[in-house]
Amino acid sequence: MSATAAGFCTAYEEITEVRVQHPERIRELARTRARRTVADTDGRMLIVAADHPARGALASGGRADAMASRTDLLDRLRTALADPRVDGVLGTPDVLEDLLLMGALEDRVVFGSMNRGGLQGGSWEIEDRFTAYDAPSIEADRFDGGKMLLRVDYSDDRTSHTLKMCADAITDLARHELIAMIEPFVSRRGPEGRLVNDLSPEAVIASIHIAQGLGATSAHTWLKLPAVPDMERVMDATTLPTLILGGDPGGSDPDAVRAEWERALAIPHVRGLVVGRSLLYPADDDVAAAVAAAGAMIRP
């Protein structure tokens, strides 16, 4: 048996070879990998997000094609996951399976991204269909939960379809005793037709109340929220465990962003960070340093 069929891939061309010759290896590794569950953490988590490309969102920090190279993205993810203060990763099946084949998901918390159908810039973007993981596949891979994006545009009738899809997914995840991580926004179309998220405290509070009421139970529901002004008042809107998202680092002052994260992390039911581009594509391109700085906020 070849080395790639017997164990983890050590080069990217081996990933392709396994996908051609031994695709069953992906399921085998998912069943046998060493797990770190949410219960194994100290209640606070740093999760690296890598589900942007599947929605056609490849830009970061002013570069339109920053995430275009899969091997470069995997290099950055492997650097991030090598830091012991990183608890896990959030991604779509293609990315997570590449990481699985390279052994990068060992002893890590894993969340599967579920709805990537609202392609960035699409006329239907607000109707964010579930095109990736579902609850049975997340359970089969022994992952910890599923993440969904919920944008509410009061002027777009398709919002109601996304609300129903998210509610059904939350209920299904709960039946499988899996975490449902909801990333809600109140959104609107800007002058050029681009979907823009309203980051005012009032809009984030409204999005929290909408999101936490979805599904037949909230027992397994977590929130993924932006750090915004007046965060103490914002977080008073919920008792659900919450992770703070990172956003696109383009045009942002890294020190100011980290200060916002620290203020949010001081609130008791804020349990950590889910950060993608800010850690994977920092302005100085030093992924290890960006991850270390974020990790120090979670575990000083």
Structure confidence by residue, pLDDT tens digits, 261-273: 999 999 999 999 9
Looking at residue 248, its pLDDT comes to 73
Q: Specify which residues 224 forms β-bridges with.
A: 243
Mean pLDDT to the nearest integer, 176-204? 96
Taking only the tens place, the pLDDT of each residue in 11-69 is 999 999 999 999 999 999 999 999 998 988 888 999 999 999 999 999 998 899 999 99
Q: Exposed, middle or buried, 32 (CB in 10 Å: 0-12/13-18/19+)?
A: exposed
200 phi/psi in degrees, rounded to 5: -70, 150
Same domain, 46 and 25: no
Same domain, 88 and 201: yes
Looking at residue 50, its pLDDT comes to 96
Same domain, 263 and 282: yes
Same domain, 61 and 2: no
Q: What DSSP letter does each residue of 141-152 carry, written as one string?
A: TT--EEEEEEEE
**Which residues span the domain enclosing 4?**
1-32
CA–CA dist 288, 295 (Å, integer): 10
Q: Calculate Rg over the CA atoms of the chain.
A: 18
CB neighbours of residue 6 within 10 Å: 9
Mean pLDDT to the nearest integer, 154-169? 98
Looking at residue 38, its pLDDT comes to 92
Look up the pTM and report it: 0.95
Same domain, 17 and 156: no
Sign of the Cα torsion 126, 129, 135, 137 reads negative
Same domain, 137 and 234: yes
Same domain, 14 and 79: no
Q: Give me the chain's average pLDDT, please.
A: 94
Indicate the number of domains in the chain: 2
Looking at residue 7, its pLDDT comes to 84
Q: What is the band of 250 on the pLDDT scale with cuts at 50, 70, 90?
A: low
Q: What does the angle CA 24 – CA 55 – CA 248 come to, to the nearest 5 degrees? A: 120
Q: Specify which residues 223 forms β-bridges with.
A: 182, 242
Those residues whose C-beta lies under 8 Å from the C-beta of residue 37, and which sit 6 or more positions away, are 109, 144
Please check the confidence at residue 299 and state whether its pLDDT lies above 90. no
Looking at residue 167, its pLDDT comes to 98
CA–CA dist 197, 122 (Å, integer): 15
CA–CA dist 198, 204 (Å, integer): 7
Looking at residue 115, its pLDDT comes to 98
